[in-house]
Amino acid sequence: LGDVYKRQVVHSAELIDGHAARPVYRSTGRMWSTGVRTLERLGVLGEKYGVTFCLENLNTVLDHPGIPLARAKDTLALVEAAGHPNVKLMLDLYHAQLGEGNLIELVRTALPHIGEVQVADVPGRCEPGTGEINYAAVAKALADAGYEGTVGMEAWASGDDAEALAAFRAAFTPQDTTTFSTEGTP
């Protein structure tokens, strides 16, 4: 393994304290404090290596039943409690819509802590425009709030891949002078 990968393994082992994965189905105070401490440690490592770590919200309605601290509001609270600029929220709007709704207010509330935004429409987890989420309004809210980071599509194509990507880009093409990062997209 290269040096970068060796460092990642060492740091991962330090962070997980010997518990790589274990199912947990209810949140406890100990879980919360362990999560905060772990994120604080990640923040320090991120600062040292120039990396920002993002914690993603999930939904328990359909895709991740029983997962504690999954809602965007809970995930945001963990990120805020860690209080480190190298620990951010990966705001997954698909999961947030299923679990909470009220996406525009969520964007406004979470903005200072958002490291990346992921999109897929509901239902179906396909590209914007195939479901109930008003992505034009969400994109406007992100722009109005000053978000300049990455917006990524984590979705299935409802048909042709190129058309799905075009729909994603159209949903987040600025209607004014505000721009979003398209870094990493073809």
| CA 39 to each of CA 46, 94, 152, 167: distance values in angstroms, whole numbers, following the listed order | 10, 24, 23, 35
* Cβ 151 vs Cβ 157: under 8 Å: no
Query: What is the spatial distance between Cα 80 and Cα 53, in angstroms, rounded to a whole number?
Result: 13
Q: Which residues are catalytic?
A: 56, 154
CB contact burial 35-71 (16+ within 10 A = b; e otherwise): bbebbebbbebbeeeeebbbbbbbbeeeeeeeeebbb
Residue 41 in tokens: 């440690």
